[in-house]
Structures are given as C-alpha cells and as structure tokens.
Structure 1
Amino acid sequence: MKKNIVVGVGNMLFKDEGIGIYASEYIKQNYEFDDKTLEIIDGGTLGFKLMAYFQEYDNVIILDTVSIEDTVGGIYRLPSDVLLGLGNYRKTAHEVEIVEMLEIVSVLDSHANVTIIGIIPKDIESVEIGLTKEMEDKFEEFILNGIKEIESLGIKATRVNNIKISDVVKSMIGSYNGEHLTRIPNEEDFTHAINL
C-alpha cells in the first residue's frame, strides 16, 4: 500500500506565510478521506526533517507559499522536477529548504513523488497571525487545488464540516487577525502542567 502525506509548510508568525499550515489544519477539520492511512501534518519550518518524508513516503503533497513573480493569489501546481528548475522560487527559508532537500534526495534510487501546491502571498513580512484579504479570497480555491491533488492519488475526499479559516486558526493558536479567543486553546492543560 502506498504511503501518502500532506504537509502544510510555513511560518504562522508572518501573516500569509502561515497559509500552508492553516490549509493542512483546515483540511483536517473539514474533510474526511476513504484512505485512513493518509497523513496530514503541520510541517511548520521543518528544514532537514522534510528529507525523512521525501525518503519514507511514496507521495508527498506540500501546501505552501511560492515566491514567483506573478499576481498575488496565483495558485501553482509544481511537481518536484519543475521546482528543481525554478531558481527564483527560493525566497523564504522554508522554500530554500524544500528545494535543497529535493536536490539531495533526487540522487537517491528511491524517493517520494513530491508536488507543491503553492500560492503567491501578499504579505510575508508583517508580524501578525492571520491572512490578508487577498489570501482569504483565494483560500477556498487553494484548498480545492490541494483536495484535487489528493484525489489524483485515488483517494476520495468528502467535505464533512464548514469551519471557517478564522475559526480553524483560532482553534490552533487562539488568535486571528487581531481577534482573540476569550481563553487560550488547551489552557486547562497548561494550567495543569504548571500545578504539577
């Protein structure tokens, strides 16, 4: 049986740069799949840990921003062979790391089929948790491109919830574009840990 994984990559501290991480969590909260072995994870800024996924899985789908000179909100499907030829793709630290990991594993006999579903961000410099309006407007299309890529592996996706992106992000870290939950997620766990 093939091993498949979806990895949301990015840095939530820098506005739109968190979109890959938000997308992976959004998919987890809103979709179910007939292949129960499909893994969906928050890869954050994984760096060299990505190499393990590239070696251990058959198919790796990465959700991320892409630094391509084009219209904000443009969505790209970048198979690894295309990505390796895109020198100007590498702008953020995790973009550089993804390409470096691909270059390293490309010389191995066996490695994953890696595809990036990437979106051109508006703002990856402001320090704020949340997305710009441009990214919010394109978010559902970004998700549907990710779902289409999952389904191309022969996995059926079913939408089971309609949890909004702002609520998904708040469930992760308690804040979204300046709106805060009245309590911190997992606050009880945190208080319990302090009292131990």
Structure 2
Amino acid sequence: MKKRNIVIGVGNMLFKDEGIGIYAAEYIKQNYKFDDEELEIIDGGTLGFKLMTYFQEYDNVIILDTVSIEDKAGEIYRLPSDVLLGLGNYRKTAHEVEIVEMLEIVSVLDSHANVTIIGIIPEDIINVEIGLTQSMENRFEKFILNSIKEIESLGIKATKINNILIPDIVKSMIGSYNGEHLNRIPNEEDFTHAINL
C-alpha cells in the first residue's frame, strides 16, 4: 500500500522568526515539484491538537518549525519523534508543547506516523512583525535544503522549478514582508470611511 506523506509548516507569522516553518512550507510548494503527486504540503499554523489527526492518518509527517534549544540563532536540527520525546526542555512555545503532547498521546497507539521535525533556532520570536530577521534569511536556503533532503529520504524525488525569493513568497501569502507591502494598505481614514458607509 502506498505510504501517505505530509509536510506541515508550523508557527505564528505575527511574531517575526516564528513564521519560518509556514514560510518554508509555502516556499517548497511554490519552488519545487515532486514525483509523488500525493505528497501534501500544508500550512499548519498553530494547529496544536488538530495535529493529532495527521499523526494518526499519515505514515510520515515532516514538521518545519522553530525549536527552543540552547544554541545560536540559525542552527538547524533534525529531531525524530523519539529524540523529541526525550527533550523536556524543548517545549517553550505553545505549539512546541502541543506537538510533544500529541506525540506522547499517539506513541501509545498501535499505528502512528513517523514524525520528524526539521527545526531552526530563531533569533526573534517576540517582536510583532511579519518577516524574518537577517540571520534567518541568511540560513533560510540551508533550512530548505535540509527539509528537501528529509522529503527525499522518503524516496520522493524533488525538482526545483522556480526561484521565488522568500520576501516574495511571504508577500504572496500575507501582503507584507519586513514593512514592505505588496499593495497599498489603506490608512485609517480609508477604514473609517468604509465603516461609516
């Protein structure tokens, strides 16, 4: 029987580097094609406990995310689920807690996905701004290549078909990147006028 594989970008785009997993998933979707047409690539956002469905229904789950490990910003880690379950201090952000809790729950079931996190240590997940810090931009391609390597380890061939840059990817998703906007964003007067109508 054909294996079901999914790549899930996790994070929160409102908090600077915290959005990198979501951006990476979209970057892969727009820049690569795969010989497995059933490979799913989704924006998991802050899905939390809904991740349980994926952990139960798929054979392989690759999660792209930031990780809270004491190391310098931009370092990339491959964390298989068994390693993740042993990393008590990993859980710092809400979705990290939920991912590990979901793994703990499904690990007692007879059948569950083989879950691997490709994680990067963020520089800034506190400031409210859509976009990546310079250190994340510098390491983004490496993060993508590690993610592609993980997908290919499942026997899926990846081919790069575009070279859309990260600022353009994020602008296509949300209209803004590090203060640069895709289109003019209405000012407050426009909003007031629209509401008054």
Please give the TM-score of this superposition, normalised by the length of structure 1.
Answer: 0.93
CA distance in 2, matches of 1:85, 1:108: 18
Q: Which amino acid aligns with 1:49?
A: K
Match of 1:61 in 2: 62
Between the aligned partners of 2:138 and 2:125, the Cα distance in structure 1 is 17
- 1:100 deviates by 0.4
SS at match of 1:78: strand
Gaps of 5+ in 1: 185-196
CA positional deviation for 1:71: 1.1
Partner of 1:102, secondary structure, is helix
Q: Distance in 1 between matches of 2:54 and 2:119?
A: 18
* 1:15 alignment partner in structure 2: 16
Instruction: Give deviations 1:20-58, integer Å, cap 9, x for gaps.
Output: 000000000000000000000000000110000000000
Superposition map of 1:47-126 within 5 A = 47-126=48-127
Aligned to 1:25: 26
What does residue 163 of structure 1 align with? 164
Deviation at 1:183, TM superposition (A): 5.2
Q: How many aligned positions are there? A: 184
The TM-score, its normalising length taken from structure 2, stands at 0.93
CA contact 1:5–1:38 (8 Å) conserved in 2: yes
C-alpha separation in 2, matches of 1:91 and 1:180: 31
Please tell me the root mean square deviation across aligned C-alpha atoms, in Å. Answer: 0.7
2:147 is matched with 146
Equivalent position SS for 1:29:
helix
Q: Is the 8 A contact 1:174 1:183 kept in 2?
A: no
| Residue identity (%) | 86
- Which consecutive segments of 4 or more residues in structure 1 shift more than 6 A? none
Q: Distance in 2 between matches of 1:87 and 1:41?
A: 27
Distance 1:173 1:52 in 2: 27
Cα distance in 2, alignment partners of residues 182 and 151 from structure 1:
37
